[in-house]
Structure 1
């Protein structure tokens, strides 16, 4: 099978999963970057803008706009760092945590539904293949 076909099939699956998650959550519209930042903050609360930019592999200036919009929508708050007053740390609000929780619940249900079509062996093979592809891209 040609790599182009595999790539297109992979992209199609990714689009369908995103569309289904977006349809199910029906919450406020967020950009890909905003959603990604919320997910990162859910795992790494209290980090500075510089640290978050490094985690997202984007410039701090680009992150600044995402932080501003999510703050205006009430999904995150910023607090001055106690140890170094020059640094601002970012945290999810209750509304931000609720949104992430709803997304995680929907991802869990989608994963259960989607992967129920695979056998245990196929799931292990898929896991191995995806890790191998991820490792390859991260190495570049």
Structure 2
């Protein structure tokens, strides 16, 4: 099989996953960036705006807009850092935590449905292949 065909199949699968995710997030009126920011905060609550911008690889001004909208929707809160009052730390509210929990449940269910078609050996092979490709791509990004 040609690499170009593999790449196109991979992109098509990725597109389908994003469409599925977008359908859920648009029901909740979230952009892809807002959803991603909530997932990052769920893993690392208390992050500063600078840390979040670096993790998301976006400009601070773009992040500021995401933070503002999520704060207005009641999904995150901000607190001034006790050690350095120039820094603001961001946290999920109870609503934000419930949303993330529902998204995790949905992702788990989708994963179970998708991967049920694969044998244990195929799942292990896919895991190894994806890790190998990710490592290669990370090395290219570091060049």
Say yes or no: TM over 0.5: yes
Aligned residues: 140
Does 1:35 find its partner at 2:35? yes
Contact kept, 8 Å, 1:24 with 1:106, in 2: the verdict is no
Which residue in 1 is equivalent to 2:50? 50
Higher RCO structure, 1 or 2 (CA under 8 Å, sep 6+): 1
Residues 39-48 or 24-33, more deviating: 24-33
Which residue in 1 is equivalent to 2:96? 96
- Any residues of structure 2 matched to 1:87-126 within 5 Å, and which? 87-126=87-126
Structure 2: segments with no counterpart, 5+ residues: none
Which residue in 1 is equivalent to 2:80? 80
- Over the aligned positions, Cα root-mean-square deviation in angstroms equals 1.5
Q: CA deviation at 1:88?
A: 0.2
Q: CA deviation at 1:101?
A: 0.5
Q: CA deviation at 1:94?
A: 0.7
Structure 1: segments with no counterpart, 5+ residues: none
Measured in 1, the distance between the counterparts of 2:7 and 2:29 equals: 27
Tell me the TM-score normalized by structure 1: 0.92
Measured in 1, the distance between the counterparts of 2:64 and 2:23 equals: 28
Tell me the TM-score normalized by structure 2: 0.90
